[in-house]
């Protein structure tokens, strides 16, 4: 059976550094895989290659069995992405942003989809407010709504709860748990929040210097490295592993 996400032997070399060095992994249906690693280890580069924003030096990414390089536009219809480092137009209201992205993704029954997301993500109170005027937590929920506008079957999340207060962070995590139960979706989650990874991910990839240096379920990693929590595993691997 083909996994919805198959990353095969990806390399990305720049003139001055090798950002990704031969990465392999897959994500199956209704699975959340965590991507952990220190800053600059190649997480964002990997995600950018998977989204077709960046061309790999070699290797292939298959989404639903199709090569992203050869079927970029077709596959982007099935994918979406959220990151605290990219924003929605600040001068547009929440509703206008959702309308724009619903059109860009050719969403059928646009109003119904927007109503569903507004209801599910509690956007009602600020739906007509400009996006730039919202708090971080509210903006995060709007970005999450944008990332779900096309009902993606592949969702790439780059630090989706970074800089959120514990309550909003918990809201997002609970939402993702509920969402994956109700929809057929494969999620790759890059995060620095070890509790989040332990709670959500069935498999964890530990990255360093563009390589996957270890992987397994959160419990397997804890057992293997004799640690009590993932943060200690992370510190051990990022400090010791050559």
Partner 1 sequence: MKNSLNRMYGLYLRHFFLIRNSFPRVMDLIYWPTIQITLWGFISKFFSMYSDYYNNTVGVILTCAILYDFLFRSSISFNMLFLEEIYSRNFTNLFIAPMKISEIITSLILTAFLRTMIGLVPAIILTTPLFGISILNLGIPLFFLFLSLYIFGMTLGLFVSSGLLRFGPAFENIAWSTMFLLAPLGCIYYPIEILPDILQTVAKGLPLVHIFEEARHILVEGTVDYKNILNAFYLNFIYFFLGVLLFYYSFNQARKKGSLINVGE
Greatest Cα pair distance in the chain:
53
Check residue 167 for interaction with partner 1 (CB under 8 A): no
How crowded is residue 201: how many other Cβ atoms within 10 Å of its Cβ? 22
β-strand partners of 61: 7
Check residue 191 for interaction with partner 1 (CB under 8 A): no
Check residue 102 for interaction with partner 1 (CB under 8 A): yes
Among 9, 29, 77, 217, binds partner 1 (CB under 8 A): 77
Rounded CA gap, 118 and 93, in Å?
13
> Which two three-digit tokens encode residue 154?
């592949």
Burial per residue of 83-115, b for 16 or more beta-carbon CB atoms within 10 angstroms, e otherwise: bbeeebeeeebbbbbbbebbeebebeebeebbe
Check residue 76 for interaction with partner 1 (CB under 8 A): yes
DSSP type of residue 59:
E
Among 33, 45, 148, 204, binds partner 1 (CB under 8 A): 45
Check residue 130 for interaction with partner 1 (CB under 8 A): yes
Check residue 13 for interaction with partner 1 (CB under 8 A): no
Check residue 22 for interaction with partner 1 (CB under 8 A): no
Check residue 133 for interaction with partner 1 (CB under 8 A): no
Instruction: Give the interface with partner 1 as residue ranges (CB under 8 A).
Output: 14, 44-45, 48, 51-55, 73-74, 76-77, 79-81, 83, 85-93, 96, 99-106, 130, 146
């Amino acid at each position: 059976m083909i996994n919805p996400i198959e990353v095969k032997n990806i390399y990305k070399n720049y003139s001055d550094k090798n950002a990704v060095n031969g990465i392999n992994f897959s994500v199956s249906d209704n699975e959340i895989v965590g991507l952990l690693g220190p800053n600059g280890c190649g997480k964002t580069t990997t995600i950018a290659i998977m989204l077709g924003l960046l061309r790999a030096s070699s290797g292939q990414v298959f989404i639903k069995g199709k090569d992203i390089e050869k079927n970029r536009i077709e596959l982007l219809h099935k994918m979406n992405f959220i990151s605290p480092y990219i924003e929605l137009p600040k001068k547009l209201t929440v509703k206008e942003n959702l309308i724009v992205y619903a059109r860009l993704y050719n969403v059928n029954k646009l109003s119904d989809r927007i109503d569903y997301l507004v209801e599910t993500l509690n956007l009602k109170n600020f739906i007509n407010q400009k996006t730039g005027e919202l708090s971080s937590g509210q903006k995060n929920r709007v970005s999450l709504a944008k990332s779900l506008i096309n009902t993606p079957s592949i969702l790439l999340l780059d630090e989706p709860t970074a800089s959120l207060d514990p309550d909003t962070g918990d809201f997002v995590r609970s939402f993702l748990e509920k969402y994956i139960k109700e929809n057929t979706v494969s999620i790759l989650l890059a995060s620095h929040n070890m509790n989040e990874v332990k709670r959500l991910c069935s498999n964890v990839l530990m990255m360093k210097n563009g390589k996957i240096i270890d992987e397994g379920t959160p419990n397997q990693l804890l057992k293997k490295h004799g640690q009590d929590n993932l943060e200690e595993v992370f510190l051990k691997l990022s400090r010791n592993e050559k």
